Structure formats: C-alpha cells, structure tokens
Amino acid sequence: MNTTTSPRAVSRWVIFMLALGAGFSVASIYYAQPLLPLMGSDLHLSIEGMGMVPTLTQAGYAFGILFLLPLGDRHDRRTLILIKSAALALFLLGCSLTGQLHSLLLASLLIGMAATMAQDIVPAAAILAPEGQQGKTVGTVMTGLLLGILLSRTVSGVVGEAFSWRLMYQLAAASIASVGVVMWAVLPRFAVHSTLSYPALMHSMAHLWRRYPALRRAALAQGFLSIAFSAFWSTLAVMLLERYHMGSAVAGGFGIAGAAGALTAPLAGGLADRLGAGKVTQLGAALVTVSFALMFAMPWLSVYGQLALIAVSAVGFDLGLQSSLVAHQNLVYSLEPQARGRLNAVLFTVVFIGMALGSAAGSKIYTLAGWSGVVALATLCGGIALAIRLIENARVASAQADVA
C-alpha cells in the first residue's frame, strides 16, 4: 500500500482505478431504474411507489453529499472512501433481501448516502492530477462515473430480466466490496487541508455559496439539467413497457446509447482547459435542450423511428450533460483549491436535489400527461439551464471588457 502524503506524481493506472471505482460506486444508485417494473410486480407497487425508489436513492445521495462530503477537507479521503465502500456493499445486500416498500425505500436512501464515495473520488483525482491536466484527469474519472451511471441500466436491465432484480443487487454488493479492496491497495494517503470542526465546515459551505456567484450559477444550471436527465431515465422503463410492451433489458439497452456521450468526458475536460469552462457549459446546455426537444417529433414517426429517435436523443443529451458537468467542476474547483471538497459538496448537493426532483416530477407528470409531458419538462429544464449559462457568460464577458 502506498502511504505517501504528497500524491501529486501518480501513475495513469491509479487514475484508471479511480475512474473504475467512481463508476461502480455511482452505478449503485441507478441499477433500480430499468428494474422498477420488476420491483413493482414483485412488491405490488403503484407507479408513484416505484418512482419513490429512485427519488429516495437520489435524495440520499444529495444528503450524503451535503453532510458527508465536506469531511474530505477535514479527514484523509482514502479513509472516507474505504468506510463508504464497506457501508455501500452492506446496504446493497440488505436491499436485495427486502420484502416490503418501506424497507426498500430505507435501503434506497442509505444506498444513496453511501454511494457518495464516488464524489470523494472525483476531488481526489483533481488533487492527484499533474499540473495543467486537471480538466483532462477529472474528465477521465468522470468518464468512469458517467459510464457507471449509464451502463448500470444496461447491466441491471439484462440481469433483472434474465434472473431477478434481487440478484442484481447482490452482484452490485460484490462489485463494491471488490472496489473497496482495490481502493485500499492503490490509493495514497491524502493531506488534510482544514482543521475546522464539523459545524464550522458546514457553516463554511454556506459562506462559499454566498461568496461565489459563479458557484451558485454553476450549481443551479447543472441542477436543472439533472432534473431533465432524471425525469427521462426514471420514466423510460415504464413508458417502454406500456407503449411498446418491452421489458427491462430493452430499457437498459438505451443506456448503451447514452454511454456514447460519456466517452467524450476527457475531450470536454480538455476543451474546458483550452477554451474556458463557461463556453463548454453553454454548449452542453444547448445540446441537452435540443436533444430533448427532438422527441416532440415522435408522434409523426413509425415505431422503429420513435425508438431510434429516443436512442439518438439519449446520445445527445448525455453528451451535453456530461460536457457541462465536467466544465462546471473545472470552474468550481478553480474558485478555492483548498476547499475542493466543500465546493464539490455544494455543486453536487444541488445536482442531486435536481435528480430527486426529476424522478418525482417525472413519475407524476408521466401519470398525468404521459411521455409528451416528460419530454416537455425535460426540454423546459434544459432551456432554463441554457439561459443561466448565457446570462453568466455575458456577465463574465462584460466584466472582462470593463477590465480591458
């Protein structure tokens, strides 16, 4: 085990393992989405009851980011990652054994909180990155994270349909236990950047929110993109079952299409390094908005055309969301490098509040207005995020012109 306290010079192998760890851990909060019809059938759940599973998982993630992630500035990140990996494996196993809605929802909440180890890994990668390559390195780890989000749906859909949703959660528990062993083997120890008490850390996050307008706008823009993203993925499996009579494996298969967008994360990070994070966030939000708006054309297409359009839109909005997220992280991390953990906590708290709202609102709107209502919600939220970025970038350009 490497015990260095100055982990700047690390191998690409360690960065790759960080990407792998981020992917497996964050996948834990998305396995449920294509499995919702199977869970509903097994536990006799309504559509709203099924929708509460991803809602509470993502709410748990938001709570974990807000209340646990700041500890990364106060304690060794390696220790935090190892503790969370053990807890997450146990919670996933417990979820596979549940027999009623209330215990399923409790397990989902706890899974979300423990899965925040992924967000301990991302700032760790920023610390380990060579000088001048922070955007690219964070982008590489974010590739693993988003591939975990998207391919988790594919894997869980196939495993759930072939075997059961319970086996999927047991396999997930085993994967996280393995990740914990790998993290123990490859991670160096990290220097502690703050001696603040826990209450002082929490108070300092409110101070960071007030101090940096760029942080507030980045969090809000990414939060609205997350509402759109989550509304789509939380209702896709139910829509495919009701409209096309397709099972969880097909729903998960759309994750492969979305994964194509994840592969651009290093490119998005490199573009943020060269062109500026603001420009990349603007382009990403525009791509998300256009991709969702394309689905308004579904009523005029054949069945195969509709399914193809959903796949194309998934590639587009996942690419836009990922590009925007990497650029927003690059922007936020540069505000105050010694407070990366807390800055990351603020950003991702808002992101996963958006995810939870998207799951809840998506399920409700689908019940009331069908798939077209979900598409309208997603397009509107993408448009709001784009407006935030356009206003912010115009403000920055104006300020730079005044200085010049």
Torsion region of 370: left, alpha or beta (phi above 0 gives left; psi -120 to 50 gives alpha): left
Q: Classify residue 4: in a domain, yes or no.
A: no
| pLDDT for position 215 | 93
What CATH number should be reported for the domain holding residue 249?
1.20.1250.20
Q: Classify residue 304: in a domain, yes or no.
A: yes
| pLDDT for position 386 | 96
| pLDDT for position 233 | 85
| pLDDT for position 133 | 64
What average pLDDT does the structure give for the chain?
Answer: 84
Q: Classify residue 108: in a domain, yes or no.
A: yes
Q: Which domain holds residue 207?
A: 12-189+196-403
Type of residue found at 306:
Q
Domain count, the chain: 1
In sequence order, the 6+-apart residues with CB closer than 8 A to the CB of 215 are 208, 209, 332, 335, 343, 346, 347
User: CA-to-CA distance for 47 and 239, rounded, in angstroms?
Assistant: 11
Q: Classify residue 293: in a domain, yes or no.
A: yes
Tens digit of each residue's pLDDT (9 = 90 or more) over 387-404: 999 998 778 766 666 655
Q: Classify residue 58: in a domain, yes or no.
A: yes
Q: Classify residue 209: in a domain, yes or no.
A: yes
Alpha-carbon separation of residue 27 from 95, 153, 233, 265 (angstroms): 15, 8, 13, 17
**Global pTM?**
0.75
| pLDDT for position 48 | 75
Contact by Cβ (8 Å): 350, 223: yes
In sequence order, the 6+-apart residues with CB closer than 8 A to the CB of 139 are 265, 266, 267, 268, 269, 270, 272, 326
Q: Classify residue 7: in a domain, yes or no.
A: no
Which residues of the chain are under the pLDDT cut of 50? 1-9
| pLDDT for position 315 | 85
Tens digit of each residue's pLDDT (9 = 90 or more) over 120-130: 888 777 777 76
